[in-house]
Every structure is written in structure tokens, then in C-alpha cells.
Amino acid sequence: MLKDKIGMVLGVANKRSIAWACAEKCIEQGARLAFTYQGERLERNLTKLTADMDDTLVIPCDVTNQEEVDTAFETVATKYRKLDFLIHSIAFAPREALEGSYLDTSREAFLTALEISAYSLPQVARAAAPLMKDGGSIVTMSYYGAEKVVENYNVMGVAKAALESSTRYLASDLGPTGIRVNAISAGPINTLSARGVKNMSGFLKHVEERSPLRRNVEVTEVGNTALFLVSGLSSGITGETIYVDCGFNIMGI
């Protein structure tokens, strides 16, 4: 399904990452992928994970460093000459901002969370668009806390709201050039980011008890949806946030 397609995947930290689940599905379908990382520790993980992959790139791309972002896209342009899709799966907020009340969010934590988790989408879309000569697809990751109050999610919820809104504005800007932009709103998953989140196991249990499917979502299910969104199967969909959450978000009381 993705034979001769080139993709770029931002946000693989380890083999449990949502980004990695998306990458595996794309590779299975014949795509060639460039991976980006932030920081040396994550470079080692990625180099190991991609060791037996053909024709791949592993490059640094810290979104707070514009030069590094420019270089990353130049490297992709030089190697592959084009880009068909991009999977954006990065977010960050200082630990102390993900507990207590949103009311206490510092200016610094707010700016950091929104810079890395939300601004990075238009930032990389701007760099990717000129390489997407035959059209393309950009996919980002959101969470329910963008829309409804989720205890402790705090400033990340505000950042994800900005991200989902950015998805719509970018879809409008890039639609005329054949580039689609969509978000996946995944249910809670036990990844590196979720580790250390206060009462994560309580959250997972809550979803298991209340979601229509009576279970938590698996990372492979998010990967399958990302595959759908980067493939031609979703050619009529742009600007959407698609929930992959076992139906949790539809429930009222």
C-alpha cells in the first residue's frame, strides 16, 4: 500500500512509542522511513530499532532548534528527493505542570508545553510541504484532554487543543496543494511519556470499565489508524481529529 512512498516519523523514543507502532505498520506496507530524535540517548535507541531496516535515515531534530529542523529536512530532501507523509508524535511539558491544578501553571511551563507540543506541528509542516510535490499526508497525536477536563493533564490539554486547532488551520492552508493534515486522539497508552504520570493505572482502569469496548486501546490500533491516514484510503479526509479510544469519548453519564 505504501510502496515507493517516503515517510518521516518524529517522536520514536523506544519500541513502545506510538510513533514506533505507526512506523512498523508503514514499513510493513513497503514505505521507506526517516526517523528523527531529540537528544543522544534517544539516538542510540533508534539506531538499534532501525538496525535491520533498508534505506532508512536517523537524524536529530530538536524542534526548539530551528537550524536542526532545517538540516533534518535538507537531509531528507538530499536522500529521497521527496516526501509523501509525516507522522508527528512529540510532546513535552515539565513534570510539575502535569499535577496539581492548571491554575498554577507557570508562564515557563506553559510556553515550553505549547512550543514543543503544538508549535512544532506548523513548524515541521512548513518544512515538509515543499517536499510533498505529489501531495501528502501529515498526522499528529492528540488526547481527549484537549476537549474535556482530565485531572492532571492540565497544560497538555491546552497544548493539545492548540494542536487540534492547528490541524484544521494547516489542513485549510495546505489542502489546495493536495496535502492533508489530520490528528489521532488516542486513548491512554502506557508509553514512556505516560510513565510517571500520577495515577496512570487508575486512568487505564477507568477506561477499561467505562469505554464501549470495555478495554484500553492498543498501540497497534493507533498504528493502523496512522497507516490509514497516510495511505490513499483516507484521500477524502483532512482537518479531522479521529478518536482511537475504544469509544471512551462518546460516553456521557
Measured N-to-C along each axis, helices 107-114 and 154-174 cross at an angle, to the nearest 10 degrees, of 40
Backbone angles phi, psi at 92, to 5 degrees: -160, 145
3-state secondary structure of 219: helix
Q: Which burial class, exposed, middle or buried, applies to 135 when counting CB atoms under 10 A from its CB (0-12, 13-18, 19+)?
A: middle
Closer residue to ligand 1JT (CB): 112 or 231: 112
The yes-or-no answer on residue 143 being catalytic is yes
Which residues contact ligand 1JT by CB under 6 A?
A: 91-93, 98, 143, 150-153, 156, 188, 193-194, 197, 203
- Least CB distance from residue 222 to ligand 1JT, whole Å? 12
- Least CB distance from residue 141 to ligand 1JT, whole Å? 8
Closer residue to ligand 1JT (CB): 27 or 156: 156
Say which of 37, 80, 143, 243 is annotated catalytic: 143
- For 135, which DSSP code? B
- Least CB distance from residue 198 to ligand 1JT, whole Å? 7
The yes-or-no answer on residue 80 being catalytic is no
Q: Which residues contact 176 (CB under 8 A, 6 or more apart)?
A: none
Closer residue to ligand 1JT (CB): 78 or 201: 201
Rounded Cα–Cα distance for residues 144 and 156 (Å): 10
- Least CB distance from residue 56 to ligand 1JT, whole Å? 26
Q: In what order do the strands lie in the sheet containing 57-60?
A: 57-60, 32-37, 6-10, 85-88, 136-142, 179-186, 241-244
Closer residue to ligand 1JT (CB): 57 or 124: 124
Catalytic residues, which ones?
Answer: 143, 153
